[in-house]
Structure 1
């Protein structure tokens, strides 16, 4: 993505303790699959995409127990680790092979993108995140999705 902003590393891990350990040592050093992006936050922007993908209202998505639950210390000032929902992981996988073109078109118009989100780039991001989700689900014990946010 070309937008400016915070850095977001979306990744999968078998469980919260493993994700938290990867947060400390580095996702790549932990050998976990990762999708780095700029400018697509896991709360408002990805939450809106989850709402579109699942047909669940945004308010109901944000009320889910694993929606952006903070795993790292709240005292950290420049890096945070949050959980993503299993519903998002599963919806990304289920949306294939039809693709994400229609979702990306609607998603690109949310206020939080400020009119600077080309739908084709959002489609590419959703496809890449779906690849990560697919890989997470193919493990004998399905992995979960996480996001490491950095200022």
Structure 2
């Protein structure tokens, strides 16, 4: 079974909890623009990108990129800290909200990762993405670069708005 992971920013845990409902539904204009891009440039359209929900919330849609282990490994690569140090940090995968039937929940993303992403130069992001193993069965790959760059864009936006990062997971 695969999980859908949507990364987004919100001003508080309470506001992030609204993502269990329709907070992250994409704006119709954004959907139309994406459909047009798929017609003209399918490869470009398939790249991860920050999009806008109808609520105005910036959203990065991903598939199966775990906000605790995978992003903890990314944080370790970006900051030079060990994974053990990173995983001991606060707000790393803290449950913010969950649905009654247990098929969706919202977790916090570490503030330290948000800061590292927002404060990194593009060349550092590319190097970190190339060294990052987001799937324990895989080898480091340059294919992770578009996701890391998009996540850094989301982190930069969140920082400028005084917001934190979160992940909604639907199983």
SS in 2 for 1:25: coil
Q: How far 1:74 sits from its partner (Å)? A: 7.7
Measured after TM superposition, the shift of residue 42 of structure 1 is 0.8
Q: For the Cα contact (< 8 Å) 1:22–1:30, is it kept in 2?
A: no
> Residues 72-94 of structure 1, C-alpha deviation per residue, up to 9 Å, x if partnerless?
13864211100011111110012
Deviation at residue 98 of structure 1 after TM alignment:
2.2
Say how many residue pairs are matched. Answer: 143
**RMSD value over aligned CA atoms?**
2.1
Cα separation, 1, equivalents of 2:23 and 2:99: 18
Unaligned stretches of 5+ residues in structure 2: 25-52
TM-score, structure 2 normalization: 0.75
Deviation (angstroms), 1:29: 4.3
* Aligned counterpart, 1:106: 131
Partner of 2:84: 59
In the TM superposition, 1:115-134 aligns within 5 A as 115=138, 119-134=141-156
Larger-gyration structure (1/2)? 2
Equivalent residues of 1:49, 1:103 under 8 A apart: yes
Give the 3 Å change call, closer, same or farther, for CA 99–124 of structure 1 in structure 2. farther
Cα distance in 2, alignment partners of residues 88 and 56 from structure 1: 11
Cα distance in structure 2, aligned partners of 1:145 and 1:26: 14
Task: Confirm whether residue 10 of structure 1 aligns to residue 7 of structure 2.
Answer: yes
Asked if the contact 2:5–2:167 (Cα under 8 Å) also holds between the matched residues in 1, the reply is yes
- State the SS of the aligned residue for 1:100: helix
List gaps (5 residues or longer) in structure 1: none
